[in-house]
């Protein structure tokens, strides 16, 4: 496996600049990440962007709704959970990715500003994303969405939340989901896989940070065995079809592959989009050719799946 040449060119700078979040509180890590965020001066044009607030069990969460630049009739809806280790990132950090997904899919994208750990521990974030998915099913016609083509998706920690939301929807009798889009998802708190050993240091998002994320969100080892924390522990029969994006130089590579394989073994139609030269987080780096290719190909696979009879 060869690292993507563009990534190789500035991996050392990326890696050395990654903050030592495992030495911080959640609030401190959040502040550091926010201070480094630079919004795009020319965000991708979409049809419309609106912000709303969705009620959840014991409060409310903001959402940002993106309409595609062009659409005809009712379109698919992607409920999207951002990455950030369950601790940081927000609607703004993933604005560019959600805009791209809206246009590439020709879909409404609903980005969820779920509550963050450690102030809100497991299963708060998952319950928030599930509540927004329920709300989406009830309100799809308000923003031109097709209730028959609701998808849940997310990257990294958000991939965990999307997978868990799909499990909750199956277990709780709805809403019906057409698919799930899981981008290098955090699936299990196993830090001794082959990919952790290979890429747990020097490849951005190091092992100490990834362990710390789990400590913030699911501090109890007993809770980590619950399927709504670690979906790899679940019975996966009856789950919606899945597109799983895998980065080859990622500590989470092996758990993503294991989850995709487990879905397939359970009879779930699953497509693995593998990018051997990628690192964790690469799809949110829009200057990378590999990121643009992955976005286009993953959305193409998802569009084909949604169009299938």
- The answer to whether 225 is a known catalytic residue is no
- The answer to whether 156 is a known catalytic residue is yes
Q: Which long-range contacts (CB under 8 A, 24 or more apart) does 192-196 make?
A: 193/251, 193/254, 193/255, 194/254, 195/250, 195/251, 195/252, 195/253, 195/254, 195/255, 196/251, 196/254
CB count in 10 Å sphere of residue 251: 28
- Which of 4, 90, 250, 254 is catalytic? The answer is 250
Q: CA 169 to CA 147: how far, in whole Å?
A: 14
- Which of 156, 195, 230, 249 is catalytic? The answer is 156
Q: CA 99 to CA 95: how far, in whole Å?
A: 6
Kindly list the strands in the beta sheet with 242-249, ordered across the sheet, starting from the edge strand earlier in the chain. 48-56, 59-67, 108-112, 75-81, 145-155, 179-183, 242-249, 270-279
- The answer to whether 269 is a known catalytic residue is no
Please choose, from the candidates 299, 295, 183, 162, the residue with its C-alpha nearest in 3D space to the C-alpha of residue 240.
162
3-class DSSP state of 244: strand
Alpha-carbon dihedral sign for residues 130, 148, 155, 109: negative
Active site residues: 156, 250, 280
């Amino acid at each position: 496996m060869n690292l993507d040449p563009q990534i190789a060119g500035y991996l050392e700078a990326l890696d050395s600049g990654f903050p030592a979040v495992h030495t911080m509180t959640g609030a401190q890590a959040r502040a550091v990440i926010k201070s480094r965020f630079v919004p795009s001066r020319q965000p991708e044009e979409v049809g419309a962007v609106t912000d709303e607030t969705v009620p959840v069990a014991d409060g409310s969460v903001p959402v940002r709704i993106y309409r595609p630049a062009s659409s005809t009739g009712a379109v698919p809806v992607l409920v999207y959970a951002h990455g950030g280790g369950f601790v940081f990132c927000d609607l703004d950090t993933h604005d560019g990715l959600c805009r791209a997904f809206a246009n590439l899919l020709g879909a409404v994208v609903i980005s969820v500003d779920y509550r963050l750990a450690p102030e809100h521990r497991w299963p708060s974030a998952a319950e928030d994303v599930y509540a927004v998915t329920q709300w989406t099913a009830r309100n799809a016609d308000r923003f031109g969405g097709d209730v028959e083509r609701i998808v849940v998706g997310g990257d990294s920690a958000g991939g965990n939340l999307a997978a868990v939301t799909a499990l909750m929807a199956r277990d709780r009798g709805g809403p019906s989901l057409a698919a799930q889009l899981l981008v290098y998802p955090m699936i299990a708190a196993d830090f001794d896989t082959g990919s952790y050993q290979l890429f747990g240091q020097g490849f951005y998002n190091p092992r100490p940070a990834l362990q710390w994320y789990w400590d913030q969100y699911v501090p109890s080892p007993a809770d980590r065995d619950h399927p709504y924390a670690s979906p790899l522990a679940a019975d996966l029969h009856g789950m919606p079809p899945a597109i799983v994006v895998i980065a080859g130089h990622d500590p989470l590579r092996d758990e993503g592959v294991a989850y995709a394989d487990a879905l397939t073994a359970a009879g779930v139609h699953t497509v693995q989009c593998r990018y051997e030269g990628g690192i964790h987080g690469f799809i949110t780096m829009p200057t990378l050719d590999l990121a643009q290719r992955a976005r286009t190909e993953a959305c193409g696979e998802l569009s084909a799946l949604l169009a299938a009879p």
